[in-house]
Amino acid sequence: MADREAEREYDIIIVGGGPAGLTAALYAGRNKVRAVLLEAKGAVVEGALMGAGGQLLNTELIEDYPGVKSILGSDLAQIMTDQAAQFGTEMIAASVGRIRVEPDGTKVVETDRGELRAPAVIITAGGNPRKLGVPGEAELAGVGVSYCAVCDGAFFQGAHLAVVGGGDAAVEEGLFLTRYASRVTIIHRRGEFRAQPILIHEARENPKVDFILDTVVEAIEGAPKVSRVRLRNVVTGELSSLDVGGVFIFVGFLPNTGLVDTHVDHDAAGYYVTNPMTMETSVPGIFAAGDVRSQLTRQVTTAVGDATTATIAATKWVEERARRLRAGSAEAR
């Protein structure tokens, strides 16, 4: 199975094995459709997919998934994978290069293990927070460097935190962090914010929030966890440092929405715009769920919900298409 090089036919191909993809695999299995999940970072060991989970694997503890008081992200990922596999959805460790839409609507998913074909595809390829790329960022990720206030904020009770960025996410998440932090310093590389004025107003009114503008972070330091950021004022060139217990970085998110070879409607930030009833994109038979989708927030719970809707809708879509094709060929006879 894992070594297949040949072209294969399915009803639904699920691209990506984060919480949205694993939920889609679970529902597809229970719906008894011929489905396959493709996960680039996974590996098949003794017939079972390991290493799926997407952003769950970058999250230490998850305490906001209903029904589970507290769980390691990696544990939740493996439980979701095993649960989906139990219902029969095939899972392949494969990296998707491109999704072609043929003239008859068939989707051809090109992977490093060959081509797969299906009428419907659910894209759950997620994305990645944009990185600053400064010394200390990668080394201290998970020990003071975070890209998710909702996931990690509660671990910084009483701390002075730095938030990097000047968009909606930085200001909104900075305000959220004041629930836990003693002080939140928003560090932005320009003197003007990209964030909406109402958010800036709210931040300026909040006594726990202060700003350092026209300034970039040059390094994040500390051992074994974050204790300081080194700063440079881009106007004066002045160097300084700020003692902090954590650094939350919100300088944009890069959704993996570049796979389809035809136009798919997306918003200004590149996220797929979907029908809220079905999660279908502007391309018939291509559905999207989780972090690739344009929506208010990106949580495990929303990814799971999106994927449930997308899979039920995709199943109905595939069945309806098969009915139409059968009716068409009966008419032709």
- What's the closest the beta carbon of residue 255 comes to ligand NAP, in angstroms? 10
Q: What is the phi/psi pair of residue 48, to 5°?
A: -115, 140
Does 189 bind ligand NAP (CB under 6 A)? Our answer is yes
39 or 172, CB closer to ligand NAP? 172
Contact with ligand NAP (CB under 6 A): which of 170, 175, 203, 264?
Answer: 170
- Based on the residue annotation, tell me whether 82 is a catalytic residue of this protein: no
Name 134's Cβ contacts closer than 8 Å, sequence gap at least 6.
Answer: 217, 218, 219, 220
DSSP-assigned letter for residue 123: E
Candidate list 64, 104, 112, 151, residue with the active-site label: 151
The CA distance from 129 to 278, in Å, is: 26
The tokens describing 306, both together, are 């999106």
134 or 143, CB closer to ligand NAP? 134
- What's the closest the beta carbon of residue 176 comes to ligand NAP, in angstroms? 10
- What's the closest the beta carbon of residue 154 comes to ligand NAP, in angstroms? 20
190 or 323, CB closer to ligand NAP? 190
Which window, 26-34, 44-52, 58-66, 244-252, contacts ligand NAP (CB under 6 A)?
244-252
- Segment (H or E) for 317: helix 300-332
Q: Could you count the other beta carbons within 10 Å of the beta carbon of residue 304?
A: 21
Q: Measured between alpha carbons, how far is residue 144 from residues 161, 223, 303 in Å?
A: 9, 10, 25
Does 174 bind ligand NAP (CB under 6 A)? Our answer is no
Does 201 bind ligand NAP (CB under 6 A)? Our answer is no
Does 252 bind ligand NAP (CB under 6 A)? Our answer is yes
Number of residues that bind ligand NAP (CB under 6 A): 19
The CA distance from 305 to 296, in Å, is: 14
Contact with ligand NAP (CB under 6 A): which of 165, 255, 285, 290?
Answer: 165
- What's the closest the beta carbon of residue 211 comes to ligand NAP, in angstroms? 12
Does 194 bind ligand NAP (CB under 6 A)? Our answer is yes
Does 172 bind ligand NAP (CB under 6 A)? Our answer is yes
Does 190 bind ligand NAP (CB under 6 A)? Our answer is yes
Name 16's Cβ contacts closer than 8 Å, sequence gap at least 6.
Answer: 37, 38, 39, 54, 123, 124, 125, 126, 256, 290, 292
* Beta strand residue intervals within 95-227, DSSP E: 96-101, 107-111, 114-118, 120-123, 127-129, 145-146, 160-164, 183-187, 209-212, 215-221
4 or 194, CB closer to ligand NAP? 194
Name 223's Cβ contacts closer than 8 Å, sequence gap at least 6.
Answer: none
Contact with ligand NAP (CB under 6 A): which of 159, 251, 264, 300?
Answer: 251
Does 269 bind ligand NAP (CB under 6 A)? Our answer is yes
How many helices (H) and strands (E) in the chain?
A: 6, 23
Q: Could you count the other beta carbons within 10 Å of the beta carbon of residue 113?
A: 18
Q: Could you count the other beta carbons within 10 Å of the beta carbon of residue 225?
A: 12
Sites for ligand NAP among residues 130-149 (CB under 6 A): 132
Measured in whole angstroms, the distance separating CA 143 from the mean position of its chain's CA atoms is: 21
Candidate list 75, 148, 168, 214, residue with the active-site label: 148
252 or 305, CB closer to ligand NAP? 252
* Contact residues for ligand NAP, defined by CB under 6 A: 132, 164-170, 172, 189-190, 194, 216, 250-253, 268-269
Q: Supply the residues annotated as catalytic.
A: 148, 151-152
